[in-house]
């Protein structure tokens, strides 16, 4: 390999960084940033998913158990995600002149806990009732907001979403 040539890992990192920079510099308005920040806060500790799961359990007593499993899946996914973060130890992105538009409880970035919990619960909810497909729209918006706010690399979000979907598919539900 010549000195100028990049390894496949360096190429991926470079593409990841380019996409992150694009997400941090394009399409920003006060309204979109406010929405992304608000969604991020609702995603903290999987709060939005816990509340939604409990509400569905209350309003759909025939599937009470399944909805409660969905409600607790978010925090469980975050716990599993944090274990992976401790193993990988990837620091959060730092872009000169573009500080993140939010805070985080950890300096670790990979994978995104917001994406993991959101896609885990959205997948499980869809399994309980396909009419809950709209949960994927919320999960996608919440996950997309993480690099938009500078909190994660895009690959952190992609890995979190994939991990979340696997968790949502394998969690035992009381169907």
What fold is seen in the domain 29-170? Vanadium-containing Chloroperoxidase; domain 1 (1.20.144)
pTM: 0.89
User: Which DSSP string do the residues of the chain spell out, in sequence order?
Assistant: --TTPPPHHHHHHHHHHHHHHHHHHSS--HHHHHHHHHHHHHHGGGHHHHHHHHHHHHH-GGGHHHHHHHHHHHHHHHHHHHHHHHHH-PBPP-BTTB--SS--S-SB-SS-HHHHHHHHHHHHHHHH-GGGGHHHHHHHHHHHHHHHTTSS-HHHHHHHHHHHHHHHHHS----
The predicted-structure confidence for 91-149, as pLDDT tens digits, reads as follows 999 888 888 888 888 889 999 999 999 999 999 999 999 999 999 999 999 999 999 99
Domain ranges of the chain: 29-170
């Amino acid at each position: 390999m010549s000195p100028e040539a990049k390894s496949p890992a360096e190429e991926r990192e470079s593409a990841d960084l380019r996409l992150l920079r694009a997400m941090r510099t394009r399409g920003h308005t006060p309204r979109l940033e406010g929405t992304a920040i608000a969604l991020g806060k609702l995603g903290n500790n999987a709060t939005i998913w816990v509340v939604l799961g409990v509400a569905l359990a209350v309003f759909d007593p025939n599937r009470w158990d399944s909805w409660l499993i969905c409600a607790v899946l978010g925090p469980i996914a975050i716990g599993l995600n944090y274990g992976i973060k401790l193993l990988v130890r990837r620091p959060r992105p730092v872009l000169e002149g573009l500080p993140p538009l939010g805070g985080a409880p950890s300096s670790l970035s990979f994978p995104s806990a917001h994406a993991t919990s959101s896609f885990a619960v959205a997948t499980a909810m869809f399994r309980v009732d396909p009419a809950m497909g709209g949960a994927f729209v919320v999960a996608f918006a919440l996950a997309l907001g993480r690099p938009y706010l500078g909190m994660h690399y895009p690959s952190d979000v992609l890995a979190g979403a994939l991990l979340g979907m696997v968790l949502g598919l394998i969690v035992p539900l009381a169907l």
